[in-house]
Structure 1
Amino acid sequence: MIKAVYVLLLVGGLLANGFVFGEGVGKGVMKIHNKAITIDTHCDTPMALLDEEFDIGTRNSAPKSRVDFPRMQEGGLDAIFFAAFTGQKERTPENTENAYRLAHQMIDETYKVCNENNKMAEVATKSEDVIRLEKKGKRAIYIGMENGFPIGTDINRVQEFYDRGVRYITLCHSSNNDICDSSTDKKGPEHNGLSDFGKEVVPKMNELGMLIDVSHISDKSFFDVIELSKTPVFASHSSIRSIAHHNRNFTDDMLKALAKNGGVIQICLLDDYIKDPDTTTVYFQKQKELRLKYNKFETMTEAQKKELRAEWRDLSLKYPQKLPTVADCVDHIDYVKNLVGIDYVGIGSDFDGGGGLDGVADVSEFPNITDEMLKRGYSEEEIDKVWGGNFLRVFKAVEAFSQK
């Protein structure tokens, strides 16, 4: 439900801005930050691209979007993955086709805005593209697909989306699909991990050189992928369950298995994945009441959606949310570093899908994470690994396997 609500609010521009913008960092921090190849592996900005009033080539402000090309440049962000997100619905042929068309529409819009702003950004498809485009002063826009729902049970669609430039697929979202079980499906497991079809999808992605994204999938699905995949896998936007006890986050055993696989976890900046929510606040209780009231988002009428937007806006204005801090986020990076090593952690914001911190409200404020790492004694080499080096290692390994 989190993403469904944020879609309405972010695209509609109605969510009150509860983020506290940082006061900037020093030149020394920016020098180190700008030297690194910086990559954010997950944002949901393609949903905002469907709003004709949104111009990604100009500087916007929250809540309309957390991402645009000028703010990427301000924040020294070299590359980002635009995720074509489709919410999971009942797996009927009609719903699958609607998701399939919507995914293609968001991919089309990504190419369109990059072509319209070709002096600032370009669609990237290879790991080396970020280096090439950074030298030209351009932002590299990679494409991912969040939720394998548009694939249905047609293995040929994996190739089709790869040919369109999609370089990772998040195997499922908040509910089970035809590929695997989700970590958050209220009905519980359906396939006991990967489905038989999912066991076809993973090798196909290996063959193509497509990254396998294990965010959102159940623990059993994760271990099935680890056992089956011939390449390192990654979590595009997940955090640490020992710190924030959400089923979406990774256990210590999952982190150890991911490291043994050679993969990487990209820490997600969404509040409940960074810090356990304070369930005693009025905001939390009122938010819970709204979710119960509007618990059938997929079948809501436009009038009901409009009512939800208004009520959520009023709630955010009346009871401003206290967000986790940059320090809270870096605690997750510390945890991975201390448990399995610095080589297995990165950053995937989930901006425009609910992500954001007190101090990192949008992509322009990413240097505040570098600042916090420096304060904790991280070396430049370690910072380089977190911001892009670790992910690029995985990306290159996936590409290399497909070229054998």
Structure 2
Amino acid sequence: MRKDLALVTILLAVLTAGCRPGPVDYTTLPEEKVRRAADSLAQVFILTDGHVDLPYRLNVRHFRLEREFLGVPIQSNTGDFDYERARKGGLDAPFMSIYIPASYQQLPDHGKAYADSVISMVTGITDSLSDKFAFAGAPAEVEANTRAGKISLPMGMENGGPIGNDLKNLEHFYKRGIRYITLSHSKDNQICDSSGDTTHTWNGLSPFGRDVVKEMNRLGIMVDISHVDDSTFYQVLALTKVPCIASHSACRFFAPTVRRDMTDDMIGKMGEHGGVIHINFYNAFLDSAVVKRNQENREKLAALLEARNLKYTDSLAKPIIEQFRQDNPSLNTDVEMVANHIDHVVKLAGIDHVGLGSDFDGVDGDLPTGLEDVSKYPNLLYVLLKRGYSPEDIEKICSKNTFRVWNAALAAARP
């Protein structure tokens, strides 16, 4: 059960400094005491994550969800998320990503049936493991679930394609539990242009997309601008009546080759509009040097196999690939780089406009050292404490900023 901030301050002062309650300067404390404080904060504060791809992992790997199966989502030696590791890391409310690949946009129903099936997978978890997981459609429900000792599984839909051309589908997905929608994914769709496409179908929002944003405001669904083209972002901010989120984005300042990330101007505008940028943990989005080095390695390996007239899937290629990867390991970022992105958002937009959006289970383990799975959040909190962030700041990053926007979206909804 979470404690109020005043009690947390007293607890941490005694725990870390061994003295009378009062402000603690974590930047000067020994590592052991700061580690202990970070572990405590992760357990004491409600910790949300704007984007976890467990449903995609379950769908692709065809894991069973029966209680007796000691795999996902209770305990697993693979992937980035399970119940035991989430508990260790203090994670209380990971938004389950209802990811719709862009290819489904071409189907007659635009992927609606597929989206419903993935949503049902999540509700299957909360139904069959109701002693451990529960749905949450609002911050108050997250708080109630946390008091009951359960991990909340709110849902966001990654790619608005399944809305099709019918605004009524928005209400359908809201009733099924969707609380944010990422307007596009890797390709332009009927709503807007994507950062992953170069077609510029609409030069931002389509006429239908403008209606989608308005209807999302009316229903209380948060508008997520992760993955959208820059032009789409600015048009959304000019149109929406409530703050937006970026459920899993990072700063283009550190990765200038990544159009998927947000520019300094976008981050500033997001803050002015009251929104929250949830920092993505994916190596390639955090540092362009990582992107460049790993791309060079991929090209070298491809050339090596081509010279031997081999394909990646050939049995004779396997030992060559393994040896190449041993000799040329992928470049990783680390937890300090994630903290750099948080620092950058705070500098440009303020402490009220940053959160966490890991992309766990969505990037094939291509994650920073120190943030390899959901048990590792305390490592990030430790770095933030050492950089001078207060417990009040960290609570905002963990959940209060997200809850503020989520509550604002719900409050603005109209029957």
TM-score, scaled to structure 2: 0.82
Q: CA-atom RMSD, angstroms?
A: 2.7
1:287 and 2:286 are equivalent in the alignment? no
Name the amino acid aligned to 1:344.
H
1:211 matched residue in structure 2: 222
Alignment of 1:327-338 (within 5 A): 327-338=336-347
Bigger shift: 310-319 or 50-59? 310-319
Tell me the equivalent position of 2:248. 237
* 2:93 is aligned with 1:79: yes
Separation in structure 2 between the aligned mates of residue 313 and residue 116 of structure 1, nearest angstrom = 41
Change (3 A) 1:191 1:279: closer
1:53 corresponds in structure 2 to 63
Unaligned residue ranges in structure 1 (runs of 5+): 1-22, 293-303
User: Shift in Å at residue 311 of structure 1?
Assistant: 9.9
Partners of 2:267 and 2:199 lie apart in 1 by: 23
**Cα distance in 2, alignment partners of residues 324 and 134 from structure 1:** 32
Of residues 150-159 and 189-198 in structure 1, the stretch that sits farther from structure 2 once superposed is 150-159
SS in structure 2 of the partner of residue 89 of structure 1: helix
Is the contact made by 1:114 and 1:121 (CA closer than 8 Å) also made in structure 2? yes
Aligned length: 366
- Please tell me whether the aligned partners of residues 56 and 113 of structure 1 are also in contact (alpha carbons under 8 angstroms): no
- Conserved in 2, the CA contact under 8 Å of 1:79 and 1:140? yes
For the 8 Å contact 1:237–1:348, the answer to whether it is kept is yes
In the TM superposition, 1:98-137 aligns within 5 A as 99-137=111-149
State the partner residue of 1:148.
Answer: 160
For 1:119, what is the secondary structure of its paired residue?
Answer: coil
Instruction: Tell me if 1:369 matches 2:380.
Output: yes
Residues 193 and 232 of structure 2 are in contact (CA less than 8 Å); yes or no, is this contact kept in structure 1?
A: yes
Which one is further off, 392-401 or 272-281? 272-281
CA offsets 1:360-400 (integer angstroms, 9 cap, x no match): 10001111010000010100000001111111100010010
Aligned with 1:266 (options 275, 278, 286): 278
Task: Tell me, yes or no, if the aligned pair for 1:49 and 1:110 is still in contact at 8 Å.
Answer: no
Structure 1 or 2, whichever has the larger Rg, is: 2
Counterpart CA distance in 1 for 2:269 and 2:320 is 39
Deviation at 1:127, TM superposition (A): 1.7
Give secondary structure in 1 for the equivalent of 2:94: strand
CA contact (8 A) 1:266 1:347 kept: yes
Structure 1 distance, partners of 2:117, 2:301, is 30
Q: Deviation per CA, 1:22-81, whole angstroms, max 9, x where unpaired?
A: x998322211222221100101110122233353232212xx320111111110011100
Following TM superposition, by how much is the alpha carbon of 1:92 offset from its aligned partner in structure 2, in angstroms?
Answer: 3.4
TM-score, with structure 1 as normaliser: 0.84
Give the C-alpha shift of residue 317 in structure 1.
5.7
SS of residue paired to 2:213? helix
Classify 1:271/1:158 alpha carbon distance in 2 versus 1 (closer, same or farther; 3 Å).
same
Matches within 5 A, 1:23-34: 26-34=35-43
The AA in structure 2 aligned to 1:142 is: P
Identify the match of residue 174 of structure 2 among 162, 168, 174: 162
Q: CA deviation at 1:286?
A: 3.9
* Residues 245-302 of structure 1 deviation map (CA, whole Å, 9 limit, x = unaligned): 1111111111121111111100000111111134664x4324357899xxxxxxxxxx
In 2, Cα distance between the equivalents of 1:38 and 1:102? 29
CA contact (8 A) 2:105 2:162 kept: no
Q: 1:6 — aligned with what?
A: none
Alpha-carbon separation, structure 1, partners of 2:380 and 2:97:
22
| Compared CA separation, residues 217 and 373, structure 1 to 2 (3 A) | same
C-alpha distance in 1 between matches for 2:153 and 2:291: 38
* Separation of aligned partners in 2, 1:269 and 1:312: 30
Name which structure has the greater RCO, CA cutoff 8 Å, separation 6+.
Answer: 1
The whole-number CA distance in structure 2 between the counterparts of 1:72 and 1:312 is 37
Identity of aligned residues (%): 34
Matched, 1:351 2:360: yes
**Structure 2: distance between partners of 1:89 and 1:290:** 28
Is residue 122–residue 139 contact of structure 1 (8 Å, CA) maintained in 2? Answer: yes
Q: Report if aligned partners of 1:57, 1:117 keep a CA contact under 8 Å in 2.
A: no
For 1:280 and 1:332, locate their aligned partners in 2 and report how far apart those are by CA, in whole Å: 19
Please state whether the residue corresponding to 1:364 is helix, strand or coil.
coil
Report the 3-state secondary structure (helix = DSSP H, G, I; strand = E; otherwise coil) of the residue aligned with 2:249. coil
Give secondary structure in 2 for the equivalent of 1:104: helix
Structure 2 SS opposite 1:324: coil
Other-structure match for 1:325: 334
1:154 is paired with a residue whose SS is: coil
What one-letter code is carried by the residue in structure 2 that aligns with 1:333? I
Spell out, residue by residue over 1:94-124, the C-alpha distance to the aligned partner (whole angstroms, 9 max, x if none): 3x44x22221111111111122211111111
Q: What per-residue deviation string (whole Å, max 9, x for no partner) do you get for residues 321-358 of structure 1?
A: 22111001100100111122101000100011116211
2:327 and 2:190 mapped to 1: Cα distance? 41
Conserved in 1, the CA contact under 8 Å of 2:102 and 2:186?
A: yes
